[in-house]
Amino acid sequence: MSNPAPLSFVHRYEPAAQAGAPPLLMLHGTGGDENDLLGLGRMISSGSALISPRGKVLEGGMPRFFRRLSEGVFDEDDVRARAAELAAFVTEAREAYGLAAPVAVGFSNGANIAAATLLLQPGVLAGAVLLRAMVPLADPPPAELGGVPVLLLSGAMDPIVPVSNAERLAGQLRAAGASLDHQVLPAGHGLSQADVNLARQWIAGPARAAA
């Protein structure tokens, strides 16, 4: 791992090991940090550069990417501000490390901020793997994603994200023009080997083709 540049988020950076592999923006869930998803990044795309920031919002001492008012109820003004903040960090990181636009790989809260960034800051992300994401904005502004590839993996038995909520997010992304693959897995909120396998196949296929 190389020493991270002094950017606006505490983060980890690992340079690419393979030409043509899309850089991955790893976005942890509640209580995670910049180290949390590096192993997942290596598993799903071993040649990719990895940029992994730590969320700046603390909830009971646990890092998150935006505030929530209660379980599943988000501070949408904060969501909008934090999506802009993350987009600015992506620009900084691209300049500092010489990266192409990254594919976000987010879990739970990280997936939610990735979805919000797609809808609020089109053009910042080259695509996204959204693991257990839910609707971050009740009424997002019109966006034109122009076929940006997105993989949304939901859990049929997820106690935090009802499938109906994930389907609403899928509808928002499709309406914005994303090239969406939404799959509901026989899983809960935690990640399974199926998530890893599907994400690996998707990054090697649609995400790389769009890079």
What CATH number does domain 11-210 carry, 3.40.50.1820, 3.40.50.2300, 3.40.1160.10, 3.30.70.1350?
3.40.50.1820
Contacts of 84 (CB under 8 A, 6+ apart): 120, 121
d(Cα 107, Cα 39) in Å, to the nearest integer? 13
Domain boundaries, the chain: 11-210
Q: Could you tell me the pTM of the whole model? A: 0.96
Is 11 in the active site?
A: no
- Residues in CB range of 3: below 8 A, 6 or more apart: none
The stretch 32-41 carries a mean pLDDT of: 98
User: Which of 186, 188, 141 has its CA nearest to residue 161?
Assistant: 188
Does residue 13 register a pLDDT over 80?
A: yes
Active site residue 108: yes
* Res 43 pLDDT > 60: yes
189 flagged as catalytic: yes
Q: Are 56 and 63 in contact (CB under 8 A)?
A: yes
Position 155 pLDDT exceeds 70: yes
Q: Is the pLDDT of residue 59 over 70?
A: yes
Q: Cβ contacts of residue 183 below 8 Å, gap of 6+?
A: 151, 152, 153, 154, 198
Query: What pLDDT, on the 0 to 100 scale, is given for residue 166?
Result: 98
- Tell me the pLDDT tens digit for each residue of 71-90: 888 999 999 999 999 999 99
User: What pLDDT score was predicted for residue 40?
Assistant: 98
Query: Does residue 134 carry a pLDDT above 80?
Result: yes
First to last CA, the chain: 24
Q: Find tokens 């700046």 and name the residue.
A: 56
> Which of 33, 75, 182, 189 is labelled catalytic?
189
Separation CA 113–CA 134 (nearest Å): 10
Asked if 124 contacts 115 with a C-beta cutoff of 8 angstroms, the reply is no
Q: Which pLDDT tens digit goes with each residue over 114-132?
A: 999 999 999 999 999 999 9
Residue 109 one-letter amino acid: N
Classified as helix, coil or strand, 49 is coil
* Averaged pLDDT of the chain: 95
**Candidates 48, 154, 158, 195; catalytic one:** 158
Task: Determine which one of 48, 108, 154, 195 is catalytic.
Answer: 108
* The predicted structure's pLDDT at residue 30: 97
CA pair distance 163, 177, nearest whole angstrom: 21
pLDDT of 209 over the 90 cut: no
